């Protein structure tokens, strides 16, 4: 039986396609840059049909540059010459699961990028051994070329083929935390394209625990490069609907594997040198890592020549609305501070866990439990909800300064950066 969210998504897509057919019959044209609009299908059209579009503007042809330690390179942004409406495939029965695996693997073998569920956030995946396929990820997301991508595997043997060396510590960490939300940074193998690592000497490798992406990797027989399935620097998606809103007119397939169970990106640990260095905090905390590593350095180098991990840019994970992280003694102080921002109170959305305002006058007040795992699971979905509701200011209650909250604090700090 189809899930309620899946049925709603399917109904919306069908309604939109019917609308486009009706418009076409009246002599209207579905524009290529209109979100979720698609031309009428012809008898020979593929599942994800395309429509003619106006000539790309200067903005459509935009390019972005990034400098590595060895020089600068250019990756073209996507030119929206065709309107694409992504298929959203459910996975909630064994038959649907198998069909979605086959379709995803078919597109990945053809060099396309597809959106897949993982336990952390949804990923935009492509063949990690195909530089052209990986370049599509950068184009679709508008991702800067100096921001590396994590490689996802489905076995220890596959992980070892992605790296130039596999120390005993890597085996110990993998035994403790894989499959799961831990990325290990090691010297990269020659077959890993430089575009994945920002032309750096190391690569991040992870064995995710979500059964769907595991099945796709096994079906393909190659590892997948997969950053979050959203436009660059925006809030990561934790369900298929978030992906559809962000990339639904840029890719051909989104697989609905349910709500992400971790909710924020993986912990990234660099073990290419000693002591091991925690580059990006996640829900596997320092204490758990120290139990295996014995020693641990915190944070990336101050001026790295090449980034060794994603998630290190100063501004990242940002909603459309301005986000601030505040503490307040009482509701009066919260109202005073939000009024000083010059935003109408009806456009102020509050996310709280301990000092919860009444809600009167605010656009929205959301309460997430005062529990790090629950907060991580819910925060991105809440930020997406605030954006969809038209928030102009999102106020998040400051979090405890303890190791188990550090990863969420890191994401909110980058999301709030100007």
Is domain 4-256 in CATH 3.10.20.30, yes or no? Answer: no
**CA distance linking residue 100 with residue 275, whole number of Å:** 42
Contact between 412 and 375 under an 8 Å Cβ cutoff? The reply is no
Determine the angle formed by the axes of helices 168-177 and 286-293, rounding to 10 degrees.
Answer: 140
Q: What is the pLDDT of residues 259-291, one digit of tens each?
A: 999 999 999 999 999 999 999 999 999 999 999
Rg (CA), the chain: 22
Confidence check: pLDDT of 58 > 70: no
The pLDDT-based confidence of 83 (bands split at 50, 70, 90) is low
- Residue from 258, 273, 259, 345 nearest 304 by CA: 273
Q: What is the structure's pLDDT at 40?
A: 39
Beta pairing class for 182-187 and 202-206: antiparallel
The pLDDT-based confidence of 76 (bands split at 50, 70, 90) is low
Q: What is the pLDDT of residues 351-369, one digit of tens each?
A: 999 999 998 889 999 999 9
Query: In degrees to the nearest 10, what's the CA dihedral of 83, 103, 228, 172?
Result: -170
Q: Which residues is 396 bridged to in the sheet?
A: 325, 351
The CATH 3.40.50 domain(s) of the chain lie at: 322-416
Q: Give the CA distances from residue 232 to residues 140, 404, 415, in Å, rounded to whole numbers and listed in that order.
A: 9, 26, 12
Beta pairing class for 277-280 and 267-270: antiparallel
Contact between 247 and 115 under an 8 Å Cβ cutoff? The reply is yes
Q: What is the structure's pLDDT at 299?
A: 84
**CA distance linking residue 254 with residue 251, whole number of Å:** 8
**CA distance linking residue 37 with residue 55, whole number of Å:** 17
Q: What element of type H or E holds 268?
A: strand 267-270
In whole numbers, what is the pLDDT of the chain averaged over residues?
85
Q: What is the structure's pLDDT at 256?
A: 98
The pLDDT-based confidence of 198 (bands split at 50, 70, 90) is very high
Main-chain dihedrals φ then ψ at residue 283, nearest 5 degrees:
-85, 0
CATH classification number, 322-416, choose in 3.10.110, 3.40.50, 1.10.3470, 1.10.20 = 3.40.50
- Residue from 348, 373, 374 nearest 361 by CA: 348
The pLDDT-based confidence of 81 (bands split at 50, 70, 90) is very low
Q: What is the pLDDT of residues 95-125, one digit of tens each?
A: 999 999 999 999 999 999 999 999 999 999 9
Apex 337 CA angle, 334 and 340, nearest 5: 150
pTM of the shown model: 0.80
The CATH 3.90.870.10 domain(s) of the chain lie at: 4-256
Confidence check: pLDDT of 39 > 50: no
Find the range with the poorest average confidence among 47-51, 267-271, 373-377: 47-51
Q: What is the pLDDT of residues 169-184, one digit of tens each?
A: 999 999 999 999 999 9
**CA distance linking residue 34 with residue 212, whole number of Å:** 31
Q: What is the pLDDT of residues 290-307, one digit of tens each?
A: 999 999 999 876 656 678
Q: What element of type H or E holds 373?
A: helix 372-388
Q: Compute the residue count for the chain.
A: 418
Q: Identify whether 78 is preceded by a cis peptide bond (ω within 30 of 0).
A: no
**CA distance linking residue 402 with residue 409, whole number of Å:** 10
């Amino acid at each position: 039986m189809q899930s309620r969210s899946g049925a709603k998504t399917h109904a919306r897509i069908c309604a939109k396609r019917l609308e486009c057919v009706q418009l076409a019959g009246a002599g209207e044209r579905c524009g290529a840059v209109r979100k979720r609009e698609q031309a009428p299908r012809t008898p020979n059209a593929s599942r994800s049909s395309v429509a003619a579009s106006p000539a790309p503007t200067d903005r459509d042809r935009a390019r972005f540059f990034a400098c590595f330690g060895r020089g600068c390179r250019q990756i073209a942004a996507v030119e929206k010459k065709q309107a694409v409406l992504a298929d959203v495939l459910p996975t909630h029965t064994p038959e649907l699961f198998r069909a979605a695996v086959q379709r995803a693997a078919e597109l990945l073998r053809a060099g396309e990028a597809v959106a897949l569920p993982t336990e952390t956030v949804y990923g935009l995946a492509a063949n990690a051994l195909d530089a052209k396929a990986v370049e599509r990820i950068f184009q679709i997301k508008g991702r800067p070329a100096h921001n590396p991508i994590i490689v996802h595997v489905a076995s220890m043997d596959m992980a070892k083929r992605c790296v130039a060396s596999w120390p005993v510590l890597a085996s110990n960490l993998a035994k403790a935390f894989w499959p799961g939300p831990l990325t290990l940074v090691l010297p990269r193998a020659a077959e890993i394209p430089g575009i994945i690592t920002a032309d750096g000497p190391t690569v991040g490798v992870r064995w995710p625990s979500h059964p769907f992406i595991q099945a796709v990797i096994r079906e393909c027989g190659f590892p997948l490069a997969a950053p979050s399935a959203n436009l660059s620097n925006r809030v990561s998606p934790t369900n298929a609907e978030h992906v559809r809103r962000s990339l639904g007119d840029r890719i051909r397939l989104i697989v609905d594997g349910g709500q992400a169970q971790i909710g924020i990106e993986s912990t990234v640990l660099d073990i290419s040198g000693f002591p091991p260095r925690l580059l990006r905090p996640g829900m596997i905390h320092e204490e758990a890592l120290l139990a295996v590593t014995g020693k641990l350095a915190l944070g990336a180098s101050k001026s790295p020549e090449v980034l060794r991990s994603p998630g290190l840019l100063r501004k990242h994970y940002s909603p459309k609305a301005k986000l601030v992280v505040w503490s307040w003694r009482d509701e009066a102080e919260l109202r005073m501070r939000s009024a000083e921002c010059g935003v109408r109170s009806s456009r102020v959305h509050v996310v709280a866990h301990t000092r919860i305002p009444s809600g009167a006058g605010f656009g929205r007040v959301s309460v997430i439990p005062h529990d790090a795992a629950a907060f991580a699971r819910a925060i991105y979905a809440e930020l997406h909800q605030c954006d969809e509701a038209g928030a102009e200011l999102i106020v998040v209650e400051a979090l405890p300064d303890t190791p188990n909250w550090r990863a969420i604090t890191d994401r909110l700090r980058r999301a709030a950066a100007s």
